[in-house]
Amino acid sequence: MKVITVRDYTELSATAGQMIADLLRSKPACALGLATGGTPLGTYQYLVERYRAGEISLQQVQTFNLDEYCELPRSHPQSYYQFMYDNLFRHVDIVPENIHLPCTDSADLQAQCDSYNALLHATPLDLQLLGIGSNGHIGFCEPGTPFDRETFHTRLTDKTRQDNQRFFDSLDEVPTTAITMGISNILQARAILLIASGEAKAECVAQMVKGPITEQVPASALQLHADVTVIVDEAAAALL
């Protein structure tokens, strides 16, 4: 794992954004795994600025998001589909057919997991962008998820729902389940870029980087991958 410590969130976003922009320039038809949550917002903002400056294009890119809440229609302001449009897709030249997120608007969630998983197998990811949950989750792979898991329907822990409550009016409105890529899907990406900011992430970042490899800390599985870059600000790096 290559760990890059930067001063603050602004520098973190520019460093991560630059890595993605470099990939877009060297391989315009790449497959990008994308993440949601508060942390990637600055990275997406950076990419939008590079696009507006005419420095990058997403016209040939295919994107695959890590996860999507169940129990919310795609039109809900807090669905990850909406999040991605609001913060990246509607501001750049990506082709809508090339945008992929798990579809949770269906009675047969297992079939949706299977079709998303098949899509991931058909299109190997050049780079997977990740955040990290304060309990060490990646995507929505919560502690205890077997490392060989592929796309699945998962129940969110109370901790994750509480952490994500800030995006909703009340805890009751936070979905209880989601469809997520499995750890195995994430590890199949050619390269992985994980970003973490703020002191609330210091403990899980330390466990991911130097703790034992254990299913209790899903992000520790990244120690098994040969090309992982972790970008952290000083607050998130405090326990390294």
66 binds ligand GLP (CB under 6 A): yes
In whole angstroms, how close is the CB of 54 to ligand GLP at the nearest point?
Answer: 29
133 binds ligand GLP (CB under 6 A): yes
233 binds ligand GLP (CB under 6 A): no
> Of the listed 65, 98, 126, 142, which one is catalytic?
142
Span near ligand GLP by CB under 6 A; candidates 20-28, 87-95, 128-136, 215-223: 128-136
- Give the footprint of ligand GLP on residues 85-114 (CB under 6 A): none
For residues 126 and 163, which CB has a smaller minimum distance to ligand GLP in the complex?
163
- Catalytic site includes residue 142: yes
- Catalytic site includes residue 67: yes
- Give the footprint of ligand GLP on residues 153-192 (CB under 6 A): 160, 164
- Catalytic site includes residue 233: no
42 binds ligand GLP (CB under 6 A): no
In whole angstroms, how close is the CB of 37 to ligand GLP at the nearest point?
Answer: 3
User: Burial code of 82-111, b = ≥16 C-beta within 10 A, e = fewer?
Assistant: bbbbebbbebbebeeebbbbbbbeeeebee
Span near ligand GLP by CB under 6 A; candidates 26-34, 36-44, 51-59, 92-100: 36-44
When binding is defined by CB under 6 A, the residue of 14, 32, 35, 113 that contacts ligand GLP is 35
> Of the listed 65, 98, 117, 135, which one is catalytic?
135
> What DSSP string runs through the chain?
-EEEEESSHHHHHHHHHHHHHHHHHH-TT-EEEE--SSTTHHHHHHHHHHHHTTS---TT-EEEESEEESSS-TTSTTSHHHHHHHHTGGGS---GGGEE-----SS-HHHHHHHHHHHHHHS--SEEEE---TTS-BTTB-TT--TT--SEEEEPPHHHHHHHGGGSSSGGGS-SEEEE--HHHHHTSSEEEEEE-SGGGHHHHHHHHHS---TTSGGGGGGG-SSEEEEEETTTTTT-
For residues 38 and 143, which CB has a smaller minimum distance to ligand GLP in the complex?
38
- The residues carrying an active-site annotation are 67, 135, 137, 142
The residue ranges that bind ligand GLP (CB under 6 A) are 35-39, 66-67, 131-133, 139-140, 160, 164
